[in-house]
């Protein structure tokens, strides 16, 4: 029985400011490249079907569900994952601190995706309304919190930015 040759490609990307290169199967999802090749396991896989948003990262500044993108499609891009947040000394940045202060997480499974969607929003709109916050995280599902504290945290982070 013959087997199909594996179609592999070399990709080079920036992940959290560091160059990463890997030979990946053409069908490999970006989320698996991030978790298994880059060993950045803060990006979660909740569904693998584009529904939950736990895998959200920024690709060239745009919020992307990384289970909906092939790794080879990210060639040449700059990717930011949840590990890019905060200082190198472990200090939390305003958004993370607000999630902590407002009890915006329980199990934490959705949190990396929520944080990256919120970061994407606040970079484009530093002073969002509650409706704009809710719209920004509409692709991120949380089974624990009921969203109220998450929305409050994002609004608090926006206020704290002084914008």
Task: List residues near ligand FES by CB under 6 A.
Answer: 45-48, 50-55, 65, 67, 105-110, 142-145
Tell the smallest beta-carbon distance from residue 25 to ligand FES (Å): 18
For tokens 């970061």, name the residue: 119
Closer residue to ligand FES in complex, CB, 50/126: 50
**Are the CB atoms for 81 and 39 separated by under 8 Å?**
no
Closer residue to ligand FES in complex, CB, 12/107: 107
Tell the smallest beta-carbon distance from residue 5 to ligand FES (Å): 28
Give the CA distances from residue 122 to residues 7, 24, 149, in Å, rounded to whole numbers and listed in that order.
39, 33, 17
Tell the smallest beta-carbon distance from residue 155 to ligand FES (Å): 17
Residue 150 dihedral angles phi and psi, to the nearest 5°? -65, -45
Closer residue to ligand FES in complex, CB, 8/101: 101
Length of the chain equals 163
Tell the smallest beta-carbon distance from residue 77 to ligand FES (Å): 17
Closer residue to ligand FES in complex, CB, 124/143: 143
Residue 111 dihedral angles phi and psi, to the nearest 5°? -60, -45
Alpha-carbon dihedral sign for residues 50, 53, 57, 58:
positive
């Amino acid at each position: 029985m013959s087997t199909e040759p594996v179609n592999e490609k070399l990709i080079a990307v920036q992940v959290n400011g560091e160059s990463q290169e890997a030979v990946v199967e053409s069908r490999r999802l970006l989320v698996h490249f991030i978790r298994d090749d880059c060993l950045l396991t803060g990006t979660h896989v909740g569904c693998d079907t584009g529904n939950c948003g736990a895998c959200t990262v920024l690709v060239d500044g745009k919020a992307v569900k990384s289970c909906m993108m092939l790794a080879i499609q990210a060639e040449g891009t700059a990717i930011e994952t949840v590990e890019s947040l905060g200082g190198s000394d472990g200090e939390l940045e305003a958004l993370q601190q607000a999630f902590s202060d407002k009890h915006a997480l329980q199990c934490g499974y959705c949190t990396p995706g929520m944080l990256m969607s919120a970061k994407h929003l606040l970079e484009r709109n530093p002073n969002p309304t509650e409706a704009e916050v809710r719209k920004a995280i509409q692709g991120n599902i949380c089974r624990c919190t009921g969203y109220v504290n998450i929305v409050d945290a994002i609004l608090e982070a926006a206020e704290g930015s002084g914008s």
